[in-house]
């Protein structure tokens, strides 16, 4: 059976409060139902899908050579998203994919994870909010 889609991303964090705030207030995911696991965490939903699972840990494990470079979401309202990123103080940059149909926003969550948010270039972006293009 072939894979039909990516279900979720699981992120370990010792910074649960700030991570929930970033993914909900900045990216617009909604904190929702989560099974009663014996460890802390949060599930953040995009529509009806728990797209980001946060698992609370006391100390971040040191990974020798992590292989996951980034994960990505599709979104709309680029100007609203960029304003929220600026307000949050998150580091980000923008670029247009060769061919001109997708504008990427590359942001970093409070734990430093690289998150891409993809927008259609048909959506007008405020040049004052763009970085790196």
Count the domains in the chain. Answer: 1
- Is residue 114 a part of any domain in this protein? yes
The answer to whether position 4 is within a domain reads no
Q: What is the pLDDT of residue 69?
A: 86
Domain that holds residue 118: 9-59+69-129
| 36 falls within a domain | yes
pLDDT in tens, the chain (133 residues): 787 888 999 999 999 999 999 999 999 999 999 999 999 999 999 999 999 999 999 887 676 666 788 999 999 999 999 999 999 999 999 999 999 899 999 999 999 999 999 999 999 999 999 987 7
Q: Using CA atoms, how far apart are residues 77 and 119, in angstroms rounded to an integer?
A: 8
CA distance 82 to 91: 11
Asked if the structure places residue 113 within a domain, the reply is yes
Residue 116 lies in a domain: yes
In angstroms, the CA 131 to CA 38 distance is 42
Q: Quick one: which of 71, 67, 78, 80 has its CA closest to 51?
A: 71
Provide the token pair at 73: 């979401």
Q: Is the pTM of this model over 0.85?
A: yes
Q: Is residue 1 part of a domain?
A: no
């Amino acid at each position: 059976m072939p894979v039909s889609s990516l279900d979720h991303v699981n992120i370990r964090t010792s910074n649960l409060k700030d991570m929930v705030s970033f993914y909900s207030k900045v990216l617009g995911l909604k904190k929702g139902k989560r099974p009663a696991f014996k460890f802390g965490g949060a599930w953040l939903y995009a529509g009806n899908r728990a797209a980001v699972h946060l698992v609370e840990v006391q100390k971040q494990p040191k990974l020798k050579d992590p292989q996951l470079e980034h994960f990505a979401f599709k979104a709309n309202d680029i100007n609203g998203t960029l304003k929220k990123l600026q307000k949050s103080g998150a580091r980000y940059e923008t670029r247009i994919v060769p061919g001109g149909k997708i504008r990427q926003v590359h942001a970093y969550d409070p734990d430093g994870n690289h998150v891409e948010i993809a927008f259609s270039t048909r959506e007008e972006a405020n040049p004052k909010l763009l970085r790196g293009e």
